[in-house]
Homo-oligomer: A and B are copies of this chain.
Amino acid sequence: MFEDAIIKNINQYIQLNDIEANYFLSLLYPKTIKRKEYLLRPNEICKYESFITKGCLRSYTIDDAGLEHIVMFAVEEWWTGDLYSFLTQTPGNFIIDALEDTELLQISKDDLEKLYECVPKFERFFRLILQNAFVAQQQRINQNLSFTAEERYLHFIKKYPQLEQRLAQKQVAAYLGITPEFLSMIRRKLARK
């Protein structure tokens, strides 16, 4: 059951009894999206935070020149969404679409607020999730400031070895902040060694 995965995941952070777990599950909407379909279209309001049970998504922007820049990937056991848009319920900056056929469990802002009221332990759960995400982002910012493109690439494949297999190089380049051509050159150079 897809519901098992999310409860198991949550139990790594907080302890839920059956009533709490079932209440939480009752708030979730399952959704499937196919590869290349949108979870969040440009300028759309983000109505749900989504927990991924299967598949892979990217959150990205498109700049004035039409180039895509990937802010995050999300795979199984990760939460995704445009948090700013979700919190403010105003149109966001990010676009989210599927890089693989994907299955999600979604929770709306109202239901999440209710959940915080009824089961305050979830405040803790999402605080812990956010702490981890904050630390990871801070490290990424530091790397973007400190590392060359080649160093960032080497760090990426070391940190997420399984993820690189699932992604087109183009997507990796858009995440690292370089052009696909330059990533291709970096890989050629590394392969010659």
Interface of A is mostly: helix
Interface residues of A in 91-148 (CB under 8 A from B): 93-94, 116, 120, 123-124, 126-127, 130-131, 133-135, 137-142, 144-146
Residue of B nearest to A178 (CB): B145
CB-CB under 8 A for A177 and B83, given A123-B124, A131-B130: no
Q: Is A69 an interface residue (CB 8 A)?
A: yes
Instruction: Check B87 against A131 for contact (C-beta < 8 Å).
Output: yes
Cα distance, A127 to B120, chains bound together (Å): 12
Cα distance, A84 to B69, chains bound together (Å): 26
Q: Is A6 an interface residue (CB 8 A)?
A: no
Task: Give how many copies assemble into the complex.
Answer: 2
Residue among A120, A134, A139, A140 with most chain B CB within 10 A? A134
Residue of B nearest to A138 (CB): B71
Q: Is A89 an interface residue (CB 8 A)?
A: no
Cα distance, A84 to B139, chains bound together (Å): 10
CB-CB under 8 A for A61 and B116, given A87-B135, A138-B71, A140-B141: no
Instruction: Check A146 against B63 for contact (C-beta < 8 Å).
Output: yes
Please give, as numbers and ranges, the residues of chain B lying within 8 Å of A146 by CB-CB distance: 61, 63, 67, 69
